[in-house]
Copies of this chain bind each other. A is one copy, B any other.
Amino acid sequence: MEPHEPDLAAVPVTAVLAALADDVRLQIVRALAEGGERACGTFEFGVSKATRSHHLKVLREAGLTRTRAAGTSRYVRLRRDELDHLYPGLLDAVLTQPNRS
C-alpha cells in the first residue's frame, strides 16, 4: 500500500502551515531536521503511539515527510529539499526559533 505522499506543490499553503502549527508535530520536525532518518518509535514526546501515528500521518499528508517501511518498523524523513525549494526560508525560520513553551 502506498502511504499517500502528495506532491508538495499540490498541497495548499494553509495545510502545510497547519501541519507545522502543533507542538508535538513541530518537535517531530525539529528532530527530523537533525537526524536524517528515524523510526517512528524513536519519538518520545509523552503522547500515546496512536497519537504519534496520527501526527506522523498529518505530516506525511501535508507533504512534509516521506515514510519507508522496513520490516516491522517505518522510517520517516523530512522532505527538506522540496520544502526549501518551494518555501525557501520557511523551515529555517521555524526551526531556528528557540523553544518557547
Q: A-side interface residues toward B, CB under 8 Å?
A: 9-15, 17-18, 20-23, 26, 86-90, 92-94, 97, 100-101
B residues in contact with A10, CB < 8 Å: 100
B residues in contact with A18, CB < 8 Å: 17-18, 21
The 8 Å CB contact of A14, one of B9, B22, B90, is: B22
Main DSSP-derived SS at the A contact region: helix
The minimal Cβ–Cβ distance linking A27 to chain B, given in whole angstroms, is: 10
A-B contact pairs, 11 of them (CB 8 A): A12-B100, A14-B23, A14-B26, A17-B94, A20-B21, A86-B97, A88-B89, A89-B92, A89-B93, A90-B90, A90-B94
